[in-house]
Structure 1
Amino acid sequence: MKDYIWHPCTQMKDHETFPPIVAERAKGIYIYDEAGKAYMDVISSWWCNLLGHGNPRINRAVERQLEKMEHVIFAGFTHRPAEELCERLAAVLPAGLEKFYFVDNGSSAVEVAMKMSFQYHHQKGKPEKQKFMALAGGYHGETLGALAAGGMDQYSQMFRPLLAEAVHVKGPDCYRCPYGNQRETCQAECIEKAEKAFAEHGRQATAFLLEPVLQGAAGMRIYSPIYLKKIRKLCDRYEVNLIADEIAAGFGRTGKMFACEHAGITPDFMCLSKGLTGGYLPMAITVTTKRIYDAFYADYSDGKAFLHSTTYGGHPMACAAGVEVLKLFEEEQILERMESDYLNRALRQALEGHPNIGEIRSIGLINAIELVEEGETGRPFAPEQRIGWKIAREAISRGLLLRPIGNIPYFNPPLTMTREEIDRAVEICKLSIETVQHKEKTGNYKRKNQ
């Protein structure tokens, strides 16, 4: 098969050795290739497949909507699936989030929140509030505004000349905590860095962006809800809007419907995508408060309308999928039935004590395995060793889809993963790590690549 496709986040030269797998079909936790081989999708196909591939209820909901209307302009028209989705979301979101702006992908949802915040302050008579602040290590997408707010050089360094300046605050790193604390018992002493940044930039800042409780692309970095509470207070003190990027963490991933619930806070903006449609169709929403909305509500001649549009915003079929996802949460008690504790226990029993595992951290069904060269000191492997990539290749050969973040393999499976599936996935993960460790010690990888 000729390969015309340039795949995302991929060095295409790697495919000279490992060609892309041709997916033929998918069901439940499994993806099947053309030969019928099954692969356990424990990363939910980039964290979006929420309730398993080919969920029959979501299938039927999308089919029913397709028979009625596939797509319609979302300016001057509305439709029942969008209205029902907003009504159901308003009932489960943190209190006060009640205005919904539809777009078609997560980066756009972040861009909308940033632009809304900027325009809000301008229209409230504070045009000096133009800066964006964000947690270092954050990932908010790869359009230029979202990329500027993100704090990961591997994505943004090349494009620095194109990006607006943002203030990046060094945030929590609980595995290598400079204060010697534990995330479960600390009082977020590391907030002092944010306090200094707010003192310097807060009066000129329009918004602070973060991923609540869990920084995904930074390596599934989990931090204390106390830190999030303190950031909320700083934003209030300096009149800075808090933008919570729940694109990856929302819809049960952290064990609660939304990650902000761990801290009991309401942000000024919440960005949703990925699990919003169960991974079926691209859709995203920027949710905000009536206070923000009211700053844009005026006569046309006042020029206060928010002028941002996407062709597929409010897509009826995506909305129908989203409605069915929320019905499933309620009717099938998805959060109550998640096997979070079982997965974490299984990984710890299988892997704790391994000399190259520094930490196994978990929240909800998300579990990250921090691979290090030396477990006692936490010294990381050199990036050029590509340990995580080698483990992923070994795992895929055994039927397990792991796509590590650097040298951090992780589990972020569909919320419906069963105990039997967990046992099998953990077994393959352990075997893959041990196999790569053995090959590294014996020099097999080096000889193969010479």
Structure 2
Amino acid sequence: MTLVTMMTAHYQDILNDNFWLPFTPNKDFRNDPKLFVRAEGDYYYDPDGRAILDGVSGLFASALGHGRKELAEAVHRQMLTLDFTASFYRGHPGAFAAAKALSALLPPGLDRIFFVGSGSEAVDTALKIALAYHRAKGRGGRNIFVSRERAYHGVNFGGVSLSGLPNNRRNFDGVGPRVVHMRHTWLAENRYSRGQPGHGDFLADDLLRLITLHGAENIAACVVEPIAGSTGVLVPPVGYLERLRQICDRHDILLIMDEVICGFGRTGRAFASQSFNIRPDIITLAKAITNGALPMGAVAVSRDIHDSIINAGGEREIEFFHGYTWSAHPVACAAALATLAIYQEENVFAAAGALSGHFLQRLFALQGQPLVTDIRGYGLLGGIDLAPAANAGQRGYEVQKKLFDAGLHLKSTGDALIIAPILVTGLERIDRLFEILTRVLSTIKP
């Protein structure tokens, strides 16, 4: 029996108790399962063959749409050429080629690439790099990290420590690096701001307050998402990121930008740091680096940071005691190379920027819907706050389930809906997305 035949059987023949779904109410899922069996272009398909529009690019990963034959062929070739080798003491051509291709898209000077297997691994790696850099500079006392409330930086212990989402950290607190938090950037007076809101640059001075409290000599890095994605798309106020950069420069604190969600065209440029004209010291990447075809992440590091760590070691000594079995996996590198080539050949980032105006127009047309309490958006990324039900998060969860039944796949975090359409989608599919969303929201009373 083929997989497709098996998956088109009755739903209860598919489900079992062996698979533990992540970030999912497992008991409710088994009572009301939502399944995909294949994907093509802008659409997923359920076991009954029903098309479901992908309004969040998988999970911000499938920016080029699903089923790209170029990626499948590149992966197939690599599997038959060099299926696997670890990068400990050995290299392979694909790793060097992928690092070079990626560095061509990054801000100038951020061209030293450390490959990992996921965004969570990229964040933990960036924290270790920051600590190693300061030690190499004779500043070993710098071991505090600054993050923000409402931040999401993955689910490894480093990212959980940085997290500003209570449910992500409350059961795992106190076991990772030392982290202090700035306030988030959502302000009531900025509700329904299209693009960067006009108020809130002063919130960057929270970093100064924490420097005064803890001492700059003890702070290694400030870690922020350019746009806080998973919490509901918090776009930075005008001048906020610039102010953070200035403060970090003044106090020799590294600025790490987590672009796992924003990277690879979501803001109309290769990276959001370029859209906002901010040069971080370290960038974390994942998701769309392989169009979601294979797990992969990366950390892009400035030459100064890289060279300081490398030069601190002896001639035949390991300079950085860190890495993963899957770092620079040959097949993942092949998928990345094919994906990066499509981004360049099809001018995807510019095309996404051209779609942004229509996307944001349709997004902000939802203002006035009784259930909607705020809307935020930038590029091809949008967030919608919903009036909560009796329990926090219940409304968002129920709405995304109803959207699935209506033929639209979106992400919800708490009572926020998150929209991130495929970058190479068309105007008619953006319209279709908002037609379904409007219809479903109109049927629910606040």
- Which residue in the other structure is 1:348 paired with? 364
SS at match of 1:394: helix
Write the mapping of 1:34-433 to structure 2, written as runs, cut at 5 A: 34-176=47-189, 183-186=196-199, 188-201=201-214, 202-212=216-226, 214-224=227-237, 226-298=239-311, 299-300=313-314, 305-338=319-352, 339-349=355-365, 351-372=366-387, 381-384=389-392, 386-433=394-441
Deviation at 1:265, TM superposition (A): 2.1
1:97-137 CA-to-partner distances (Å, cap 9, x unmatched) read: 01111111111111111111112212211111111111221
Q: Please report how far the alpha carbon of residue 88 of structure 1 lies from its aligned counterpart in structure 2 after TM superposition.
A: 1.7
Mapped contact 2:195–2:378 kept (Cα < 8 A): no
Aligned residue pairs, count: 427
Alignment partners' CA distance in 1, 2:120 and 2:153: 6
In 2, are the aligned partners of 1:44 and 1:414 still within 8 Å (CA)? yes
1:18 aligns with 2:26: no
Greater alpha carbon shift after TM alignment, 224-233 vs 305-314? 224-233
Shift in Å, 1:385? 6.8
Which amino acid is 1:19 matched to?
P
Q: 1:185 to 1:160 in 2, by over 3 A?
A: closer
Distance 1:196 1:263 in 2: 24
Gaps of 5+ in 1: 373-379, 441-450
Q: Which amino acid aligns with 1:347?
A: L
Structure 2: gaps of 5 or more residues? 1-12
| Deviation by residue 1:174-199 (Cα, 9 ceiling, x = unmatched) | 44559x99944347122232221123
Superposed CA offset, 1:383-416 (max 9, x none): 4471111211211111111221111112112111
TM-score, normalization by structure 2: 0.90
Matched with 1:447 is: none
Partners of 1:195 and 1:413 in 2: CA distance? 37
What is the one-letter code of the residue matched to 1:409?
A: L
Amino acid at match of 2:397: W
Distance 1:138 1:161 in 2: 17
Report the Cα distance in structure 2 between the residues aligned to 1:330 and 1:304, rounded to whole angstroms: 35
| Shift, 1:17, TM fit | 2.9
Q: Distance in 1 between matches of 2:20 and 2:188?
A: 35
1:171/1:394 CA distance change after superposition, 3 Å: closer
For 1:104 and 1:426, how far apart are their aligned partners in 2? 34
Shift of residue 330 of structure 1?
Answer: 1.6
| Mean Cα deviation higher: 241-250 or 290-299 | 290-299
Q: Distance in 1 between matches of 2:116 and 2:34?
A: 30
For the residues of structure 2 that align with 1:310 and 1:57, how far apart are their CA atoms? 27
- Within 2, Cα distance between the matches of 1:182 and 1:294? 37
How much does 1:382 deviate? 4.8
Please give the secondary structure, in 2, of the residue aligned with 1:172. coil
Equivalent position SS for 1:189: helix
SS of match in other structure, 1:192: helix
3-state SS of paired residue (2:100): helix
The Cα offsets for residues 144-177 of structure 1, whole Å up to 9 and x where unpaired, read as 1111112111100111142333110113114455
Report SS of the residue matched to 2:310.
coil
Give the partner amino acid of 2:21.
H
- In 1, Cα distance between the equivalents of 2:340 and 2:267? 16
2:289, 2:189 → 1: CA distance? 33
One-letter amino acid of the counterpart of residue 83, structure 1: F
**Contact preservation (8 Å) 1:174, 1:182:** no
CA distance in 1, matches of 2:176, 2:321: 21
Q: Secondary structure at the match of 1:87?
A: helix
Secondary structure at the aligned position of 1:409 is classed as strand
1-structure distance, mates of 2:75, 2:102? 18
Q: How far apart in 2 are the matches of 1:251 and 1:292?
A: 23
Task: Measure, in 2, the Cα distance between the counterparts of 1:52 and 1:225.
Answer: 32
Q: Secondary structure at the match of 1:297?
A: helix
Q: Residues of 2 paired with 1:151 and 1:430: CA distance? A: 30
SS of alignment partner, residue 416 of structure 2: coil
